[in-house]
Amino acid sequence: MTEDADARRTAWMYLSRVVTGPCPALSALIDRIGVTEAARAVRECDLPESLRGPTELRRGIDCAERDLETIARLGGRVLTPDDVEWPSWRMLALGQLDAARDQSAVVPLVLWVRGPLSLPDSTEQALAVVGARCSTGYGEQVAAEIVGDLAGQGWTIVSGAAFGIDGTAHRAALAAGGTTVAVLGCGIDRPYPAQHERLLAEIAETGLVISEYPPGTTAHKHHFLARNRLIAALSDAVLVVEAGSRSGARNTVKWARRLGRPALAVPGPVTSAASVGCHRMIRDGEAMLVTRAEEVLDEAGPLRLSVPDRVVADDRTPDGDEGLVYAALPQIGSRVPDDLAELSGLPLSAVRAALPALEMAGLVGSDASGWFRLTRTGRSAR
Amino acid sequence: MTEDADARRTAWMYLSRVVTGPCPALSALIDRIGVTEAARAVRECDLPESLRGPTELRRGIDCAERDLETIARLGGRVLTPDDVEWPSWRMLALGQLDAARDQSAVVPLVLWVRGPLSLPDSTEQALAVVGARCSTGYGEQVAAEIVGDLAGQGWTIVSGAAFGIDGTAHRAALAAGGTTVAVLGCGIDRPYPAQHERLLAEIAETGLVISEYPPGTTAHKHHFLARNRLIAALSDAVLVVEAGSRSGARNTVKWARRLGRPALAVPGPVTSAASVGCHRMIRDGEAMLVTRAEEVLDEAGPLRLSVPDRVVADDRTPDGDEGLVYAALPQIGSRVPDDLAELSGLPLSAVRAALPALEMAGLVGSDASGWFRLTRTGRSAR
């Protein structure tokens, strides 16, 4: 019952444009009936009441072909959860949040990407660095020093390409010859802010510029709040360098905490308005105080290492959902998640959560054909 | 069996000079056999092995009379645990620490005092402000602002009269017309540091200069570490404004934590060596980050209020040690702690701990004659 890969890709792209940003009801529908069937249901308005409103405005817009052309012209690509380059492990915690509490707490349907790197590979060891748009010389100096140290040690710097600390973080990573990822709240064909057009072009040359919003989407305040969850999800920790009293950085820190990522903040003079938000987050126990790169590593480093240690050390056969999914994988050859869901009797979302965990445990792998079992010495025979 | 008050006072002063600073073995002996008997035993070297060494050097020095003259010439006085002006409540937590873990963890034998105020009254609402001797303009500005705000609201500022933040805190309290208490690590007749002679004289005019070291004692490093426990004990909270990487302020914070006082620290630029100690204490969970006076009150204020609320609301007859001590008080008239210990069968240290708790509960009071029961409408008939 493997669906045609192109049809599935077109369905993901179509649905992503219909809702433009996170939509828990649609994600739930896709989990339940699969992406191509969900696309058909939306097109034909064969929908539960809860999905009619959110899809009404744009369900007639079906420009996947044109979007693919646009993105190809930019030298970019689109990633869907079916792709090997999809950052499954990074999205794991996001997929387990309760979307009833926050309408943004769902995995994006697609990611539009510019840049030469693999998204999962480049975010394997990643630190988000965010902060005040109205930064001070002090904040910029500290951000540049910490980023320079960590980028030089192979850490990817994830940020939002905004003025101030975001821009400083990207630039310092580039200057150190490191990798940096910009996550936008608009289409990746839109340089936002406009003054950062050149910076974004530089990032796309050696790093990645990504967005869940289709090409042409303009920046909106609520896009940035949803975007912040991806900055946190794609990173091992979130570092705030300067934040005013109403900074958006606090929202990124909130996502970090919900996703189990350490939230870190750099203090500054108590006489500086640009440090008020950092001090409040430290004081309220929302963020840990850090002053330099080594302290960032103290918080961001061990967590990343402890998880594989724990799983790999466990040499038993997987149990629970992971056991069911593993049993549904053939001894020879591979299967796609939809088939695994059907064979295991689990919802697709549970299959999607189990696969990266099995991968972490060194039991499965994936390529363009789907997921397959690994033997002790490598990939099982095909 | 009430001992002559003068004889007891002379005994306290004599013993204080023999050991010069905290001596757990001597404090234990006094608890066991009373202060006059302990003084006799020391004079005659009728002592357990553990006390022969610590008393050997100065047990021949008996200059209580001369000390009293010296202190009178300075317009000062000496306080002993028998005095109504003894800060019993403030010393409560210190008396309950385990001196086996830290040789300084005992209540001082006496306190030498200069200044027009009552020590318990003036430290009823008190904040310790300590910090780097090598302070920066930033730290001095922040210390002066917080101290100015709190001194103006009736808070007494306790510090150590050192260069840098200590001196800034005392001066800002004086400038705000507030009360400030300097706790020294040398005799109160010794201006230390010498450049602060005039500052100390000003403090002694409107506030208090105190020390557990007899007149003439010169400053030593270990005196300052022992002194720090008194700064913490006499305050509701300890605030650190700037501290280098090896600052003595961390020692005062350690005492604050052991004594159950909130420890607070002001952050600063991570590029400033003078804030390294504050950041480390916040990061290690040893101190709470604060940025202004209101935040200091958030931490220091409620604690102080919650204790009496809890005790006063409890309208039952006291039980445990407090019940035994209360029962040992006469219906009419008063008793000194030594007598209460004998009558109740409790060690003197337990009596000393119970009395302030009974006082907090509004059940007992004290004056020069000793401790007495309070009726609902005031002091019981004598």
* Cβ distance of A267 and B283 shorter than 8 Å: no
DSSP assignments along B278-295, one per residue:
HHHHHHTTSSEE--SHHH
Q: Is residue A98 part of a domain?
A: no
Choose among A268, A275, A288: nearest Cβ to B283.
A288
Q: Are residues B348 and B284 in the same domain?
A: no
* pLDDT-based confidence at residue A35 (cuts at 50, 70, 90): very high
Region A229-257: mean pLDDT is 96
- Is residue A326 one of the residues assigned to a domain? yes
Q: Are B278 and B243 in contact (CB under 8 A)?
A: yes
Question: What span, in angstroms and rounded, lies between the C-alpha atoms of B236 and B305?
Answer: 10
- Asked whether the beta carbons of A185 and A220 are under 8 A apart, the reply is yes
Shared domain for B153 and B297, answered yes or no, is: yes
Do residue B292 and residue A270 have CB atoms under 8 angstroms apart? yes
What letter does residue A219 receive in the DSSP assignment? Answer: P
- CA A171/CA A182 separation, integer angstroms: 11
d(CA B227, CA B239): 16
Instruction: Tell me the chain A residues in contact with residue B295 when contact means C-beta distances shorter than 8 Å.
Output: 283
Token pair recorded at residue A187: 């289409």
Indicate whether B335 and B244 sit together in one domain. no
- Identify whether B81 is part of a domain: no
| B279 vs A contacts (CB less than 8 Å) | 267, 289, 291
DSSP A53-99: HHHHTTTT---HHHHHHHHHHTTEEEE-TTSTTS-HHHHHHHHTS-T
Name the strand (E) or helix (H) holding A373. Answer: strand A370-375
How close B224 gets to chain A, by Cα (Å)? 29
- Does B279 lie in the same domain as B331? no
Average pLDDT over residues A148-160: 97
Minimum Cα–Cα distance from A274: chain B residue: B269
What is the rounded radius of gyration, in angstroms, for the C-alpha atoms of chain A?
Answer: 21
Same domain assignment for residues B225 and B326: no
Q: Which among A147, A157, A123, A311 has a CA at the least distance from the CA of A233? A: A123
> Would the pLDDT of A381 be above 80?
no
Final residue before a domain boundary, out of B303, B328, B351:
B303
Domain count, chain B: 2
> CATH number of the domain that A331 lies in?
1.10.10.10
Asked if residue B335 belongs to a domain, the reply is yes
Locate tokens 């990643």: which residue?
Answer: A126
Domain shared by B139 and B219, yes or no: yes
Same domain, B138 and B165: yes
Residue A207 lies inside a defined structural domain of this protein? no
Q: Is residue A353 part of a domain?
A: yes
Q: Is B220 left (phi over 0), alpha (psi -120 to 50) or beta?
A: beta
Distances (CA, A) of A24 to A30, A104, A107, B335: 10, 7, 9, 75
Each residue's pLDDT tens digit, B7-54: 999 999 999 999 999 999 999 999 999 999 999 999 999 999 989 988
Lowest model confidence (mean pLDDT) among A216-225, A373-382, B213-222:
A373-382
Question: What would the pLDDT profile of B88-138 be if each residue is shown by its tens digit?
Answer: 999 999 998 988 888 899 999 999 999 999 999 999 999 999 999 999 999
Do B268 and B123 sit in the same domain of this protein?
yes
Residue B146 within any structural domain of the chain: yes
Mean pLDDT of A296-321: 58
| Chain A residues close to B282, C-beta within 8 Å | 267, 282, 289
pLDDT at position A187, please?
A: 96
Which structural domain, as residue segments, surrounds residue B340? 320-379
* pLDDT, tens digit (0-9, with 9 covering 90-100), for B289-340: 999 999 999 988 754 433 333 333 334 567 788 888 888 887 777 788 888 8
Alpha helices, H only, chain A: 5-19, 24-33, 35-43, 49-56, 64-73, 88-95, 119-122, 137-152, 165-175, 197-206, 221-233, 249-258, 276-283, 293-313, 320-328, 337-344, 348-360
d(Cα B78, Cα B15) in Å, to the nearest integer?
13
pLDDT digits (tens, 9 = 90+) for B190-237: 999 999 999 999 999 999 999 999 999 999 999 999 999 999 999 999
* Same domain flag for B364 and B255: no
CA–CA separation, B162 and B145 (whole Å): 19
Apex A254 CA angle, B293 and A185, nearest 5: 120
Q: Please indicate, yes or no, whether residues B274 and B339 belong to a single structural domain of this protein.
A: no
The whole-number pLDDT of residue B262 equals 94
Last residue in a domain, options B272, B303, B334 = B303
Separation of first and last alpha carbons in chain B: 19
Give the B-side interface with A, CB within 8 Å.
138, 141-142, 266-271, 275-276, 279, 282-283, 288-292, 295
Choose the final residue of a domain: B278, B303, B328.
Answer: B303
Q: Give CA–CA dist A319/B27, Å, rounded.
A: 63
Consecutive H or E run containing A372: strand A370-375
Residues of chain B with Cβ-Cβ distance to A264 below 8 Å are none
A61 within a domain of the structure (yes/no): no
Q: Angle at the Cα of B371 (from B368 to B375), degrees rounded to 5?
A: 120
Kindly indicate the confidence band of residue A312, based on its pLDDT and cuts at 50, 70 and 90: very low
Reading the block at residue B105, the tokens are 């963890």
Place of tokens 């204020």: B301
What is the domain-level CATH number for residue B204?
3.40.50.450
- B339 by DSSP, 3-state: which? helix
Give B305→chain A minimum CA distance, Å.
22
Is ipTM beyond 0.85?
no
